[in-house]
Chain A
Amino acid sequence: EAGVAQSPRYKIIEKRQSVAFWCNPISGHATLYWYQQILGQGPKLLIQFQNNGVVDDSQLPKDRFSAERLKGVDSTLKIQPAKLEDSAVYLCASSLAVATDTQYFGPGTRLTVL
């Protein structure tokens, strides 16, 4: 079974530029999460999707971050414009929408904002 795929693995941009990350969850997983992990800290939820609907985006900085999950499969996370403090690893995770709710994580995208 293929795992959660993310691309790119690394991205370096200058502040005020825009960037987009892509996630392909495990086939059949209805729930998709985006987490942000700043160096030295645990991951923090940005947004949760159930199929193509948003369940929780309360911690998403909506003035600069946006995310979508068209057709309930792949998802993209965008930052526009980026700030220095957005430097982090962006992790995508997916899970089946059932009681056994193990979350499977992708390898993440490491973003550096200069």
Chain B
Amino acid sequence: GQNIDQPTEMTATEGAIVQINCTYQTSGFNGLFWYQQHAGEAPTFLSYNVLDGLEEKGRFSSFLSRSKGYSYLLLKELQMKDSASYLCAPMDSNYQLIWGAGTKLIIKP
């Protein structure tokens, strides 16, 4: 079956760096998305990886290893506004997004 595994909750300190891991098993693969969702708000797009390696976008970077079924989201210089849930979503062979339950990131001063 198809499965996504990411930590339920993480805590980090303002100004620090945090890495949110995601492992996945899907029927086929057409890339992987990361979304950010603040409480009570819509998920918003952060990144898309389809090839192995690191994609950097400002304070946020996303890494993909297709052979390992593994991705991570790296957040640098953490700010209080980064407190949110982070959703990992690979796309399967039918171009359907398979969603994880998300990682709730808590930033402390």
Say whether A and B bind each other. no
Residues of A within 8 A of B (CB): none
